[in-house]
Amino acid sequence: MKILVCISQVPDTSTKIVLKNNNTSVNSDGVTYVINPYDEWYALIRAIELKESGIATEIHLITVGKADVEPVIRKALALGGDEAVRIDAESNDPYETAHYIAEYAAGVGYDLILCGKESIDYNNGTTGAMLAELLDLDYIGFATGISIEANTAVINREIEGGEETDACNLPLVISCQKGVAEARIPNMRGIMAARTRPLKIITPSGITAVAEILSYELPPAKAGIKLVSPDDMDELVQLLHTEAKVI
């Protein structure tokens, strides 16, 4: 069973966002880039667990980006995975990203495609479902548990106000969130081994863009906090009613 894990490079959570070029782009100077947490902690680790338990035979990692994303894909390889693919393109539109990944995946044929529930940079959470459509596969989003029995995946997924258990024949696409896997960190052996694993670079066929980012803006600074005496909760309730108008 072959698994493809989609990996996205994102600025570390603690990054302070600085804009440049008249607010048309985000300044990457001094930014630490990491594997998107949902892709790493849940999608990738679950794939590794499935391989360790003998269910999966091969794990491939895929990312869309220029050469500067290679350290991050190498880090993902250090956690586990047999080979990585970098689609040599720059894209921050999910439609474009999904097309590139689908183009490659269709040529290989995977039993399971895993991605994180969303990336922490563009917060779309749409690539997985787009991939499923492009590859004519089933899709389950917001998974909190994945097990494989023969040719069937059994998935726990979040629903509004609870959880649902679904079953679906492979192949399919699943987006993963908390609950899917147990966290782990790469060990030295993994880091050394990752250096020798293949990293393929693929030039995609171009597609016509359907959306573009025109500009960015930073949220206005908070107006400052109003402190209320711990002995006067009536005042807090009044403020929430008359000023904030939330109760």
Q: Which of residues 47-86 bind other proteins (CB under 8 A)?
A: none
Residue 11 beta carbon to other proteins: minimum distance, rounded to whole angstroms = 7
**Residue with tokens 């782009």, as numbered in its chain:** 25
Between 57 and 165, name the residue whose CB sits nearer to other proteins: 165
List b or e across 172-209, with b for residues whose CB sees 16 or more CB atoms inside 10 angstroms: bbbbbbebbbeeeeeeeebeeebeeeebeeeebeeeee
The only residue of 52, 68, 90, 163 in contact with other proteins, by rule CB under 8 A: 163
Q: Which of residues 184-223 bind other proteins (CB under 8 A)?
A: 209-219, 222-223
Q: Quick check: 31 binds other proteins (CB under 8 A)?
A: no
At residue 188, φ and ψ (nearest 5 deg) are: -60, -35
Binding part of the chain for other proteins, among 51-59, 141-149, 187-195, 197-205 by CB under 8 A, reads: 141-149
Query: By CB under 8 A, is residue 134 in contact with other proteins?
Result: yes
Q: Which is nearer to other proteins, 57 or 90 (CB)?
A: 90
Q: What is the DSSP letter of 42?
A: I
Q: What angle do CA 200, 13, 184 make, to 5 degrees?
A: 65
Q: Which residues pair with 176 in a beta bridge?
A: 116, 143
- CA dihedral (21, 22, 28, 31) positive or negative: positive
Tokens 């573009």 found at: 212
Site size toward other proteins (CB under 8 A) is 83
Residues 113-132 that bind other proteins (CB under 8 A): 120-130, 132
Q: Is 239 in the site for other proteins (CB under 8 A)?
A: yes
**Least distance between other proteins and beta carbon 185 (Å):** 15
Q: What angle do CA 37, 90, 24 make, to 5 degrees?
A: 90
244 binds other proteins (CB under 8 A): yes
What's the full length of the chain, in residues? 247
Cβ proximity to other proteins: between 129 and 202 the closer is 129
Q: How far is the CB of 245 from other proteins (least distance, A)?
A: 8
